Structure 1
Amino acid sequence: MNKFFFSKLALRNLKSNKQIYFPYIFASIATVAMFYMMVALRGNKFIQTRSDTLSLLFALGAIVVGVFSFIFILYTNSFLIKRRKKEIGLYAILGMKKSHVSKILTIESMVTSCFSIVVGVVVGHLLGELAFLVLNYALKFGIEMSFPFTIQAMLVTIGLFALIFLTTLGYNITQVTFSNPIQLIKGKQTGEREPKSSLILFILSLLLIGSGYWMSLTIDNPLDAMIYFFLAVLLVIAGTYFLFISGSIFILKKLKKNKPFYYRPSPFISISGMLYRMKQNAVGLANITILATMVIVAVSTTAAIFIGTEDTLTVRLPYENQRTYYETVDLAEQLEAIEKETEANGLNVTGTEMYVYYNLFSIIEDNKIMIGAADFAKEIPDTIQLLIREDYERIVGETVPLSSDEVLLFDSKNTFGFSTVIIGNTTYQVKSKIDNPLKMDKSQSPNMIMIVDSRETLESIMETDFRLREIDLPIVADAVISWNTNGTQAQKKDYSEKTAAVVSDSGNSYFQSRELLREEWYSMNGGFLFLGIFLGLLFTFGAALITYFKQVSEGYDDRDKFQIMQKVGLDKQMIRKTTRLQIVWMFLLPLIIAVIHVAFAFPIIQKLLLLFSVVNTTLVFWCFIGVITGFSVIYWLIYQVTSKVYYGIVE
């Protein structure tokens, strides 16, 4: 036998079966491109320099897309091999050995997989470049976003999809090895066995999803939310797959037992057809649900971050300007100098807040502040901000008598119920509980604010903290002056730039201003929105791809059956009616489950957004509502287009 015989036969097979290979190769290229773009984004300079959390989020996204790619390629391959079983069976009847057939399948797989991987990486990079070019032009956020080409992303993509295609090849060879020719010839016409609804699997799915929901609903600390968010996501993803595989079958069997409903032409045909192929349908629906959830979360959160930029600036700086001193200063003299400098620039100071403070980072245990007990590498310490009585009285506008062994206490969590507080070896009486005297959002509030009687008491506590933590620095409390000014935005920006130049020359303090931060924050948050829109488009494309391929595969599976139905007298109108239940499963169910996931994820997402100083819950809520509405419309259009493909095949 000619050594090129199998290669020629494999290439001829690809050409003669182009009707089914074209959708498979297209789906493979698209999946490779989608995964490559997700991994390549981790090399984006914006993502690398902003925060480790952002990089970690994209790593999690790449893992999710990788799992989706594995499942989706296996699904499309099963459709392909099922339609070729008759052809493979004929090879065996004509005398070809199973080893020869396996060799042909291997060559076919090498050609299609290598082509898909190479073209997929190229297409992925070109689409990424094009998308970034268009978004940079359309959005104009003041920051040029680039889509990088990285060897690492390419190698990771090649490695993953080489493994995926090897797995599909192993599955295909197994189908040939363990089947006789007659089984293979009848394989295309052989329907799947009616799947059993596993109560254990159904309960497991509810437990997994419930655990993820419980984490979202019970976590209060934003830093804890960041840690547990990834675990909650993985639990819900796993639970979603199990829910669709087991729960959908359970519901269909319940509908089947409803005899008055089931024994009618439309429900009978639709439910029977879906029930026998529900394992494949369930995985496809679960994939769509997960991608829909990712679209909604990615676009909604980044939109909230960008739209809420002004709120973020206000949270970060409650006053328009703030100067922090690192040495002992007379606050009254400094404020007078600020007022004169402001007037020299044609503006006036309209509101002020100034105080001396020291932040004590420690562990609060009962009524004890355990100085030096916190291991900063392993745990997040409590923050206790110390102020002096004189500054507190000026801020609140009232006189409060306070002795050296007494303190006023603000407890952000309102859980401190003791009459004394112990710092080091000194016991202080809690004279009264107070509200937060400082103008700040609760998300920025320390665990405690403690008012002591004098600067001497404050420095005594500082000395204890420095000694126990072995800090060899001068004992000097920091001081802050915050103020607003009148004038236009342009005047305020000019004033801020001049003030910043003066402060930078002083060397004893630093200056912050909303006007100086505004452009930087809008650019940074615009970058987040840019990435959110890009990911939204990417995941929407993934959902569209699954929907299209699912409709094509179902169309080919249903065509012969519907032709038989037409021959026995079922008209085309009735054929269309038989797809209504499938439309409910295909269109409504993934969207409904995705919205439920998002609703339960809202609390933990809100906590995560606090890390970005997004505190406007109403804004976040309406961003989610807007994105859900927009995605629903897009998803409906996708389904309408792909439904025409389905009807074109079956009719």
Structure 2
Amino acid sequence: MTLSKLVLRSMRKNLKHYYLYFFALIFSVTLCFSFTTLYTNPSVIETLEKSGTASTGFEVASYILYFIVTFFVLYANHLFMKRRSKEIGLYQLIGMTKGLVVRLIALENIILFILAVGVGMVLGFLSSRIFAMILLRLVELEAVVDLTFSIEALTQSTIVFTILLVVILIQMIWMIRRVSLLSLFNASKKADERIKPFGVFQMIMGIIGIALIYYGYYKSTQLFNIADPDAATNLFMNMLLILASTIFGTFLFFRFSVSFIMNLLRSRKKGHLNVVDVLAISPIMHRMKSNAKSLTLITTLTALAIGIMGLSYISYYSSENNARQSSPYDYMIIDNKGVEFLELLNKEGIRYEKEDYLMSEVDLNIEELISNGLKDSPLFFTDEMKTSVISLSDFQKKVPNVEINDGEALLTSYVNVLSEIMPLQKEKNIVAKTEDLEVTLFVTDIREDFLLYSAVNTGGPVLVVTDDLFDQISASGKERTQIGINLKDNNDLEKAEAIYEDLADARGFELEIVEGHPFTHTPSSYEELRKENIATFGMTIFVTAFLGLAFLLTTGSILYFKQMAEAEDEKESYTTLRKIGFSTSNIMKGIYAKQLFSFGVPLFIGLLHSYFAVKSGWFLFGTEFETPLMIIMSLYILMYGVFAVLTIQYYKRVVNNSL
């Protein structure tokens, strides 16, 4: 028999092992090539550059994708070589030299890899236009996307995948040549070594693993706690500490804690094990030593992917809220600069509503509103801060039912990053000062309503006082005006935006953030701010979605391959159980329990890791937390469920064919 026929027969025989690997490899190449084609497509680049959206993240993300694919292919190839160790040993036993075996396996890998890369590139080229349309949809841009074949993308991808193929062949040659004939027959059984009786040391290490994870979670909640002097001055070191304790704790959890829990469950049975226990608890215990590293890796990658995608989606999901916080009205006119905008709206027949505000400014001391713990922080400052002031009657234009009495005040617009890091307490006294006035006020409430353009109050809170007190403050301080305009009909938006843009030079008002250094600032409309946010964060969510898909493919496929290998190893056990009368449905109950652990536990811990990671600093990225994170988590759970179903179907075929 010729080598080529032997290769084809071997590939047909191993097709049941290769099909998902082949699909995953095609999918990975498709992602990489479409991504590379996308950022080299002239029509896409021109459109993004015109909108001011940076496209440099594409190139960085493409290299990360290549790294993920490389890791996945090398890991999967290692698993398959281990599964075929007995086959390789048989080849040598019938007289084939190691060199001939190497050529046989190398030809298989080359054929499989070239086919996958070829199909993946074709699909990547065809799908690049779809991905380009999705990207432009996310950033709300309109353009005609041409299906352009990129020589640059082809050259880059060919170089990367050729290098990857060479690395795979080196890995394969090294694995075949370094092992003895006897070890090849035992390689696939190493995961089945019996574990030692569970002792005090294993129990202690299991508890330490859970404690380290808890410690990492706790430290993450204190990461931006300025009341903690250590957290305030050693942010980077604390992040590394959280990362190290969580990852190492995860490894100890899988290595020792799981076995500890399983031993407790088995001890409660007092030796009376049913078929579910035999097929679920026992395999998990006996394989946990060899699986701890891979499960830790899968859990970490899952948490990383969900965390990155979660933060990106929080930013994108919060785009409108962030814009509305900066510009509470559709259009803002400060100090009557550009007031002719109203005349032009009337001239064009554009209907609108407007609200006028008078603003002043005080030096505000909010020390009493801050908890004692925060006052001890090295980052806390007791200096008075410049704060915008409005009257109660103006505030009631936005919130009609609010009332305050003489000597009282309330703070509003306090719902940004500052409010998360330094929360304020109501029903305390504050001191407000101007050059001619100093007054102590009792704060009745701290609200989230936004009324003033963010540049005017520099992102800080707004003080609301009684009308009489506001008149006194404005008499001794600087008074400003603001006109807030909302359109009645969104169909007029395009016309209004054009008029507002034409008056850009007239709308500029004087702003002084640093004393003695005034400058001219031109306010942006709500729609302009919203589009800027959408363009920036739409690009981010698109890139991270690609990376998240790659991470998901990697972790899900690795879990599937490992379970596939375990199913083949346990086939003899299924044969024995079938012979003594157990039905397929009885055996599958134990397999369901095992898969619930194999897929559910890494996913659950990964979700916990990502939740606490995102919760520690989500407010730096947006204004919404629960909804975007839950959406990302739900999608990940759904995709993991697909891999779990595929695995169960494979087990069912193995069980059915075991007798």
- Scaled to the shorter chain, the TM-score interval is 0.5 to 0.7
Q: Is the 8 A contact 1:302 1:529 kept in 2?
A: yes
Amino acid at match of 2:6: R
> For residues 153 and 78 of structure 1, what CA distance do their matches in structure 2 show?
28
Task: Tell me what 1:495 maps to.
Answer: 496
2:103 to 98, 102, 107: 107
Q: Structure 2 vs 1, CA of residues 172 and 25 (structure 1 numbering), >3 Å: closer, same or farther? A: farther
2:93 to 90, 100, 115: 90
Count of matched residue positions in the alignment of Structure 1 and Structure 2 = 573
**1:194 equivalenced with 2:194 (yes/no):** yes
CA contact (8 A) 2:35 2:58 kept: no
How far, CA to CA, are the matches of 2:130 and 2:100 in structure 1? 44
Q: Deviations over 1:545-595 (max 9, x none)?
A: 335433432232122332244345544444334424313322432333233
Alpha-carbon separation, structure 1, partners of 2:71 and 2:551 = 14
Gaps of at least 5 residues in structure 2 are 40-44, 364-369, 371-378, 397-403, 408-413, 465-471, 509-519
Do the aligned partners of residues 382 and 480 (structure 1) sit closer, same or farther apart at CA in structure 2, a change above 3 Å counting? farther
Deviations 1:145-196 (A, max 9, x none): 89983755665555466446534542332223xxxx4554566677731245
Instruction: Judge conservation of contact 1:299–1:529 (CA < 8 Å) in 2.
Output: yes
Distance 2:361 2:431 in 1: 21
Opposite residue 75 of structure 1, the aligned amino acid is L
Trace 1:421-570 onto structure 2 (pairs within 5 A).
439=451, 446=459, 481=482, 483-504=484-505, 510-519=522-531, 521-522=533-534, 525-531=537-543, 534-535=546-547, 537-570=549-582
- 2:618 paired residue number: 606
Distance in 2 between residues matched to 1:441 and 1:252, nearest whole Å: 59
Note the alpha carbon deviations across 1:338-366, whole angstroms, 9 max, x for none: 5444444444551244668999xxxxxx9
1:467-498 deviation per Cα after TM superposition (whole angstroms, max 9, x unaligned): xxxxxxxxxx9x88452234212224422311
Preserved CA contact (<8 Å) 2:223 2:235: no
Which residue identity is paired with 2:649? Answer: K
Within 5 A, what are the aligned runs for 1:258-277? Answer: 258-260=268-270, 263-277=273-287
Q: Pick which of 550-559 and 500-509 moved more.
A: 500-509
* Aligned 8 A contact 1:261 1:267 in 2: no
Unmatched runs of 5 consecutive residues or more in structure 1: 325-330, 360-365, 367-378, 402-409, 460-476
1:579 aligns to 2:591 (yes or no): yes
Compute the displacement of 1:207 (Å): 6.0
Q: What is residue 176 of structure 2 aligned with on the other side?
A: 172
Determine helix, strand or coil for the equivalent of 1:642: helix
Tell me how far 1:642 sits from its aligned partner: 3.0
Query: 1:257 and 1:387, CA in 2 relative to 1: closer, same or farther beyond 3 A?
Result: closer
- 1:348-400 CA-partner distances (Å, limit 9, x unpaired): 551244668999xxxxxx9xxxxxxxxxxxx9x999974688x8899779999
TM-score (norm 2): 0.66
Would you say the 8 A contact 1:587–1:639 is kept in 2?
A: yes
Judge conservation of contact 2:66–2:160 (CA < 8 Å) in 1: no
Structure 1 match to 2:10: 16
Say whether the 8 Å CA contact 1:209–1:240 is kept in structure 2.
yes
Give 1:648 shift: 1.3
| Distance in 1 of aligned mates of 2:5 and 2:71 | 30
- The code of the aligned residue for 1:111 comes to L
Q: Which residue identity is paired with 1:649? A: V
Q: Does 1:218 align with 2:214?
A: no
Aligned-residue Cα RMSD (Å) equals 5.7
Moved more, 438-447 or 210-219: 438-447
Alpha carbons of structure 1 residues 633 and 516: separation in structure 2 relative to 1, 3 Å: closer
Match of 2:259 in 1: 249
Distance 1:623 1:280, change over 3 A: same
User: Is residue 314–residue 618 contact of structure 2 (8 Å, CA) maintained in 1?
Assistant: no
Residues 591-644 of structure 1: per-residue CA shift (max 9 Å, x gap): 33233234323413523422xxxx13xxx4234334444544443344233322
- Cα distance in 2 for partners of 1:358, 1:157 equals 64
Taking the aligned partners of 1:358 and 1:129, their CA distance within structure 2 comes to 61
Query: Per the alignment, in what secondary structure is the counterpart of residue 593 of structure 1?
Result: helix
Deviation at residue 267 of structure 1 after TM alignment: 1.5
Question: C-alpha displacement at 1:501, in angstroms?
Answer: 0.6
| Residues 304-335 of structure 1: CA deviation (Å, up to 9, x unaligned) | 544544323212312222357xxxxxx3x547
Residue identity opposite 2:607 in structure 1: V
1:76 correspondence with 2:95: no
Q: 1:596 aligns with which of 587, 608, 611?
A: 608
Q: Conserved in 1, the CA contact under 8 Å of 2:314 and 2:628?
A: yes
- Would the alpha carbon gap of residues 249 and 311 (structure 1) be closer, same or farther in structure 2, given more than 3 Å must change? same
Q: Deviations over 1:507-562 (max 9, x none)?
A: 86534112344455445555455445545554444455335433432232122332
1:639 equivalenced with 2:649 (yes/no): no
Name the amino acid aligned to 1:213.
Y
8 Å contact kept, 2:254–2:295: yes
Q: 1:350 aligns with which of 338, 345, 354?
A: 354
* From 301, 317, 324, the counterpart of 2:327: 317
Q: 2:517 aligns to what?
A: none
Asked whether the 8 Å contact 1:293–1:595 carries over to 2, the reply is yes
For the structure 1 residues 151 and 439, does the alpha-carbon distance in structure 2 shift closer, same or farther, using more than 3 Å as the test? farther
Amino acid at match of 1:488: D
Q: Aligned partners of 1:382, 1:441: CA distance in 2, in Å?
A: 26
Which one is further off, 489-498 or 141-150?
A: 141-150
| Amino acid across the alignment from 1:484 | I
Shift of 1:296: 4.7
Cα gap change, 1:123/1:292 in structure 2, threshold over 3 Å: closer, same or farther?
Answer: farther
Residue 23 (structure 1) shift: 2.8
